[in-house]
Structure 1
Amino acid sequence: MPENGNIPRVTSSDHKGAAVLATTLVMLGLRDVVISPGSRNAPLTIAFAGNPLVRTHVVIDERAAGYVALGLGLESGKPAAVICTSGSAAINHGPAIAEAFHQRTPLISITADRPTRFTGAGHGQTVSQQGLFNAHTVFNATIDENEISESEIASIASRAWTSANYGGPAHLNLPFEEPLYGMRLAEVKGEEMESLERSESDFTIPVILKERGTRTLFIGGPRNCRDKKERCSVDGIAGVFEKFSGITGDSIIESSELFPDNIEHTPTAVVTMGSPIMSKRLRKQISKLGVPHVHVGNDGEGWDMFGLLETTVETEPIEWTRRFIREIEQEEAFVEQFRDEKARLRRVHQELIKDVEWSDLLAFEIILRTVTDDRLHFANSTSVRYAMLYESEKHRVFHANRGVAGIDGCTSTAVGHALALCRIAENKDNPKSVTLITGDVAFLYDINGLASVQEVPSNLKIIVVNNGGGDIFKWLDGPEKTGLLDKFFTTKPKTSIKAAAHFCGVAYFCAEDLESTEKGIGDLGKIDGAAILEISTPPEISAITYTKYLRELRLTREHE
């Protein structure tokens, strides 16, 4: 602040709803705002773009914009805001909001609206936007500047910020009367306002675990961004923690698909952390056990994925686990069987991978062995499943949009995360990199994550494993029997990855075997700017190799 005490003033909107909302959110700590062009949201654009504390990102496609904002929040754990005009543009925030809700990642969607009297009256770009995302938000409100005071607007903004910070998306809908482009001067204050914080962590061990927890099975899905800063190791417990949980240990299996069918010492209780696990098979196994389930974490009420949830402990999960280990002695034979199983999986994997011919399985082995970046994103479908089959460096942070687990938004989310790393880097010319590993269908589905982003981050690298369509449908028991597999399920894309890269103005490399893949990954790391490496794999061989690999892992277990 200037020594003479004069408060700096900047250009803002003359709509008080936009001006007060922007000022309040920035004072609370908002720093990144994703804006999609439009007229009805002009007051919001003017208010945020005029604030020197805000970094704005322009993304034309509102669906991609929502995911970019989600990605921006991954590193800091604070929400980014995403702004759009009215009508179908607002609805297009829906997929990212649903993902943030189930992922429990902070996000604030701000949609401009036409005055409420126009709803249902046949006006263009007008839909019913009030309460549009009620089922998938932790807070939502309409701010009608003609009906409420500035202090009420500030209060709503504060509640939205606090709710989103607890983990999840907030939605604010603002109707604006014309004219929309008026401006006025507004004050810029240099200190952040205080926002409500979570209560102190409760490390209490529930009674049900004290009574029945001597053989507790820990299960971890992807943890929210506040918990998962770096990967960590926890020993002394038996568990299945998927790679995206960020938790490992000497008796922790890192793929829910590899949980043993039959174990000698069965669990007497289950503790979950993070989002639900990927494996339907494991969910069914646990449900049949009928043992008590406790959820632990800073992510709100646990998902009752087994139909056995007893209670939720809202606390920091790693410290709680370490206290649990000290207080509830685990039966050594129970833990040891998981330690032995992990060692067996490692040994068998190393033997099997030696004889694997060129396929997705071998391509992913090379990728995870060769890529050095410590922020790895994986698209849903096949990529995310292959990621869990391989051990990796403990410092790496893995991310996938496993909330709703759709293929939409995977590229856009990685773009947002890369932009966040650019912002926080001390050396602006050398931020940490984000590498996205994706498939051909997932990449082309979310092509607007690159094509409609006006600022493609230079620290983003993309590896597209192209197996000629939705290869995951060849793993499933059903699609091939219909006779409709190729046309309606695997559905090979018509657009080439090379053409898409050229369209987006991104450097492109290709590889088609082990040697060229290793070289391509090396070349990818040398590029100063965003780049794409396409790795072509044979679809039929890849599907057969994957199913054979899993079968061999399980057969070996039975024969030992």
Structure 2
Amino acid sequence: MYSNIKNVQILVALLKKHGIRHLVLSPGARNIPIVHSVENDNFFQCYSVVDERSAAFFAIGISLETNEPVAVSCTSSTASCNYLSGLTEAYYRHIPIVAITADRDPYYIDQMESLLIKQQNMYQDIMKKSVQLPIVNNAEDFWYCERLVNEALLELDHHGKGPVHINIPTVGNHYLYDCKVLPEVRKMERLIQGTQNTAWMEKSRVINAKSRILIFWGENIHASSECEASLAAFAKCHNCVIIKEHMGNISLDKSLNPALIINAMSVEEFDQYGPDLIISTGGDVVSGTKAILTNWKGKCEHWLIDESGKVTDIFRKLTTIFECSPKYFFDYFSKDSGQKPDDNSYSNLWTRALGDACLPEVPFSNAFAIKSLMEKVPANSNLHLSILNSVRLAQYFQLDPDVKVFSNLGAFGIDGCMSTFLGQASISKNLNFLIIGDLSFFYDMNSIWIKHIKSNVRILLLNNYGAAEFHFGYGKEILPEINDYTAAEHFRSAKQWVEDNQFTYLSAHNINDIHNCLDAFCKPDAARPMILEVFTDKESDGRTAHILADYNKQENLKDISKKMIKSVIGKQNVEKIKNIIRKKTD
């Protein structure tokens, strides 16, 4: 029987999955749930060492003889301090020891709670990895705890061996041990380029058996033509679907930007499009793809290509991290693809869905301004997208494939979007465009007076006198006072400031104004940098964003189809056809 405390169950289950079978146990109250869970499981070989100072060194000896990682477990407070000298030895001799320190509820630190000291990161200078496990009360906690244990255990032999630390608050009933079966946990593994040949070969067999492979190509700044060719060859070998946004910066014919359909799709509707394998690489995305894959409960695993080998469980389905370049991955699994049948049914499914999707007529709004500019941006330009609405709305509209697209998606903050753009433009020989909202612009407005700004700068400033983002997410119906502080309403223009800094200033208040400005705005031979300030309304912008997100929902498409049929054959004929069908059915 195992402890009923969930984080203990997860820890024990993952120790088993990772093959860590030797445990050196020291007595105490806090770690009873761990000790009792492992001592009755025949998988584990347990050793009793009372003195924690000796226990850590004893574990080193076992590891030296077995060439395996060894775990040590102790109770809370000063007992955990006694591991220090042994773990220091393990660190400098590169010996894989898992230090499991039981703990009390972290809420009570520094509240005169007995046997409670600051154990988190107490060995930080002599650890390859330290994690603090959560108290598990729900599915979110379960995923987080599972991920942290995997991260720690994967680091035992990552670029050299050494100790890791898992601090675990054993909060719950220490007397309940009626859990007969450990929970199903997801083991993560890491495969490194040029090593573990048998493991790579096994993955070839796995991938050859998959029929619905979805490649998730995230933000990528400098994808080489060679890498694109490798990706194309891999996708052809395995009949893949390639999902990417504008920031992916690849121009493969079969790559798809899913924004038009994915934001309108329910998790249930996604079932017919769901993959059995996700392969991801690159940075973040802003469309609903990430959310729907995270919430989708279909049977699927996720392989991550990451040159650092970092654990990034973006869809909560991660099983394997490939520590290599994308080109190496795609080349390797193309050459060993076997005789996979040429079945494009999965890619055709996605292509049809996007082919059936359509855009509504976009009214005058920040979305209309973005759409109009993206249709005009010349090839070989750079386009920067600021945060939230600017970057999200841009995904709905077409762009010349030879335009490179950038966005500060790393921390995704309001500060520095314009400074980043101006830094790149100061070096670039091409035209450089920025789409930015008013709050982001004014937040970073000091960057406008940087003396290195050149005439290749074009800034589309979307000024709706506040944050339309919150009118999209909430609106006055939920927050009647939304404009006071949340949307930070203001009534200012950038005109005086940008003209003082020698920019050519253009403005637009309607559709005709935008059309009249864009030709001059997009010409490469301007004498000075330019700003086009488009004035719109926050509430209208929020409504337009909702229309774009919801337009291709299945129920909406049915209504659109009905309207199209009526417009072609007439309302009266529709009723006649319905009556004929009813009679035949009766």
CA distance in 1: counterparts of 2:227 and 2:502, whole angstroms: 33
- State which of 206, 222, 225 in structure 2 corresponds to 1:211: 206
Cα RMSD of the aligned pairs, angstroms, is: 3.3
Percent of aligned pairs sharing the same letter? 19
The equivalent of 1:306 in structure 2 is 315
CA distance in 2: counterparts of 1:390 and 1:301, whole angstroms: 33
SS at match of 1:380: coil
CA distance in 2: counterparts of 1:501 and 1:265, whole angstroms: 48
The equivalent of 2:535 in structure 1 is 536
**Pair 1:245 & 2:248 matched:** yes
Q: How does 1:321-400 map to 2 (within 5 A)?
A: 321=330, 324=333, 327-328=336-337, 329=340, 331-345=343-357, 348-349=358-359, 352-353=360-361, 356-372=362-378, 374-400=381-407
**Per-residue deviation at 1:542?**
2.1
CA distance in 1: counterparts of 2:435 and 2:457, whole angstroms: 11
SS at match of 1:489: coil
CA contact (8 A) 1:222 1:244 kept: yes
The equivalent of 1:506 in structure 2 is 503
CA contact (8 A) 1:377 1:399 kept: yes
The equivalent of 1:412 in structure 2 is 419
CA distance in 1: counterparts of 2:354 and 2:328, whole angstroms: 24
- 1:319/1:249 CA distance change after superposition, 3 Å: farther
CA contact (8 A) 1:378 1:399 kept: yes
Deviations 1:418-465 (A, max 9, x none): 1121xxxxxxxxx212111111111111112213x2322222111112
- 1:320/1:513 CA distance change after superposition, 3 Å: farther
CA contact (8 A) 1:511 1:535 kept: yes
- 1:267/1:457 CA distance change after superposition, 3 Å: same
CA contact (8 A) 1:231 1:397 kept: no
The equivalent of 1:550 in structure 2 is 549
Paired residue type of 2:354 = K
Paired residue type of 1:553 = N
- 1:286/1:534 CA distance change after superposition, 3 Å: same
**Pair 1:488 & 2:485 matched:** yes
CA distance in 1: counterparts of 2:333 and 2:476, whole angstroms: 45
For CA contacts below 8 A with separation 6 or more, give which structure has more relative contact order. Answer: 1
**Per-residue deviation at 1:303?**
1.9
CA contact (8 A) 1:203 1:320 kept: no
Q: How does 1:381-530 map to 2 (within 5 A)?
A: 381-421=388-428, 431-451=429-449, 453-477=450-474, 480-524=477-521, 525=523, 526-530=525-529
Q: How does 1:55-454 map to 2 (within 5 A)?
A: 207-208=202-203, 210-211=205-206, 213-225=210-222, 234=232, 236=236, 237-256=240-259, 258-259=261-262, 260-261=265-266, 262-263=269-270, 264-279=272-287, 282-287=290-295, 288-298=297-307, 300-301=309-310, 303-317=312-326, 320-321=329-330, 324=333, 327-328=336-337, 329=340, 331-345=343-357, 348-349=358-359, 352-353=360-361, 356-372=362-378, 374-421=381-428, 431-451=429-449, 453-454=450-451
CA distance in 2: counterparts of 1:372 and 1:266, whole angstroms: 36
- 1:507/1:481 CA distance change after superposition, 3 Å: same
**Per-residue deviation at 1:550?**
2.1
**Per-residue deviation at 1:497?**
1.4
**Per-residue deviation at 1:209?**
6.2
CA distance in 2: counterparts of 1:274 and 1:438, whole angstroms: 24
**Per-residue deviation at 1:413?**
0.5
Q: How does 1:4-19 map to 2 (within 5 A)?
A: none
SS at match of 2:490: coil
TM-score, scaled relative to structure 1: 0.56
CA distance in 2: counterparts of 1:366 and 1:230, whole angstroms: 32
**Per-residue deviation at 1:380?**
0.6
CA distance in 2: counterparts of 1:500 and 1:201, whole angstroms: 56
TM-score, scaled relative to structure 2: 0.53
- 1:203/1:487 CA distance change after superposition, 3 Å: farther
CA distance in 2: counterparts of 1:202 and 1:511, whole angstroms: 59
- 1:542/1:477 CA distance change after superposition, 3 Å: closer
- 1:476/1:231 CA distance change after superposition, 3 Å: farther
CA distance in 1: counterparts of 2:474 and 2:399, whole angstroms: 30
**Per-residue deviation at 1:243?**
1.3
The equivalent of 2:106 in structure 1 is none
**Per-residue deviation at 1:206?**
6.9
SS at match of 2:354: helix
Residues matched between the structures, number: 347
**Per-residue deviation at 1:300?**
4.8
SS at match of 1:509: strand
Paired residue type of 1:211 = V
Deviations 1:490-522 (A, max 9, x none): 212353111231343322111122222122122
**Per-residue deviation at 1:539?**
2.6
CA distance in 2: counterparts of 1:334 and 1:474, whole angstroms: 37
CA distance in 2: counterparts of 1:472 and 1:466, whole angstroms: 12
- 1:226/1:548 CA distance change after superposition, 3 Å: closer
CA contact (8 A) 2:384 2:434 kept: yes
Paired residue type of 1:357 = P
CA contact (8 A) 1:438 1:462 kept: yes
CA distance in 2: counterparts of 1:514 and 1:202, whole angstroms: 59
CA contact (8 A) 1:201 1:314 kept: no
CA distance in 2: counterparts of 1:420 and 1:365, whole angstroms: 27
**Per-residue deviation at 1:298?**
4.2
SS at match of 1:485: coil
- 1:480/1:449 CA distance change after superposition, 3 Å: farther
CA distance in 1: counterparts of 2:517 and 2:195, whole angstroms: 49
Paired residue type of 2:389 = T
Deviations 1:13-50 (A, max 9, x none): xxxxxxxxxxxxxxxxxxxxxxxxxxxxxxxxxxxxxx
SS at match of 1:500: helix
CA distance in 2: counterparts of 1:201 and 1:450, whole angstroms: 48
Paired residue type of 2:452 = E
CA distance in 2: counterparts of 1:553 and 1:206, whole angstroms: 42
SS at match of 1:370: coil
The equivalent of 1:167 in structure 2 is none
Paired residue type of 1:378 = L
Deviations 1:209-234 (A, max 9, x none): 63253211111221244659999894
**Per-residue deviation at 1:489?**
1.8
